[in-house]
Amino acid sequence: MTPEELPSFLRAFDPAQPPDPRQLLEGFLASRMVYYPGVGSDGQPIRVSNQERVAHCHLYADYGVPLDRLLRSIHQRGAGFRGYQVLHEADAGFLLPPEDWWSGKRGADSIMLMRRDRPPFARLFMFQRLPQFGGSHGAERFCLLFLCMCGVHAYDWLFCTRRIAPYLLVLQDHGFGGNWNTFGGGGLMEEFARVSGSLPKHLLVAENTRPWQGYWEAPRDPLLPFKHGHARHFYTRVPGPGG
């Protein structure tokens, strides 16, 4: 994976004169993205991609994380991302799909039932590296967009309908975490991606999860176990009919 320069919308951001959130999201969606469905509170992909400058925009989706829990994990003393402070925060609820989009979607009934107790939301955070931490610690700035939304349908809505794809997709099936469909190989998310052509260039796959078809394991060391005790391996898409 090649490094990415700091996206222009992040470089130009002035906290004294923040632009409209829609303008920020345009820059976000036009940049390299790391997508992690069913994330919970796992920050390892952000830490690794920050250190290697793989991407500066991270999209997390998990309908099991309420807003108050997310905000505590970001703002509570001793939480958040080591060496970073929140530079800007914005409501991005306009990014969620309209109600009629869900009509006929597979799994929509169970998802709508869960939403009665946990309203969907979208929240954008921009982080700035603290001055006492140097460039070896990580990127100068990065963004996190968190959606309280089904990870499978968030992929369909944000990537497939726009005919775009994440640069890196993190795949881990948590089993008892409440997922109604697999994120890994053979699941509905892979089906959505193939039909629309919205296939990521790289995968980061936990050892308890199957990679998608058409990806080969990259010749690099896996990430050591972090979330639920599973090491993770990098995969790269192979050009051709299967990739």
- Residue ranges per structural domain of the chain: 20-237
Provide the Cα torsion 7, 11, 14, 15; round to 10°: 70
Using CA atoms, how far apart are residues 85 and 204, in angstroms rounded to an integer?
26
Q: Order the strands of the 232-237 sheet from edge to edge.
A: 84-91, 122-129, 141-147, 57-61, 33-37, 168-171, 202-206, 232-237, 215-217
Tens digit of pLDDT for each residue in 117-176?
Answer: 678 899 999 999 999 999 999 999 999 999 998 899 999 999 999 999 999 999 988 754
User: pTM score, two decimals?
Assistant: 0.90
pLDDT tens, position by position, 27-82: 999 999 999 998 877 778 888 888 889 999 999 999 888 899 999 999 987 677 89
Task: Using alpha carbons, select from 137, 134, 139 the residue that is nearest to residue 32.
Answer: 139
The structure tokens listed for 45 are 């992909």
What is the pLDDT, as a whole number, of residue 111?
A: 60
Average pLDDT, the chain: 88
> Higher model confidence: residue 230 or residue 242?
230
Q: Report d(CA 216, CA 113) in Å as an integer.
A: 38
What is the tens place of the pLDDT at every residue in 83-101?
Answer: 999 999 999 999 999 988 8
- Interatomic CA distance for residues 150 and 62, integer angstroms: 6
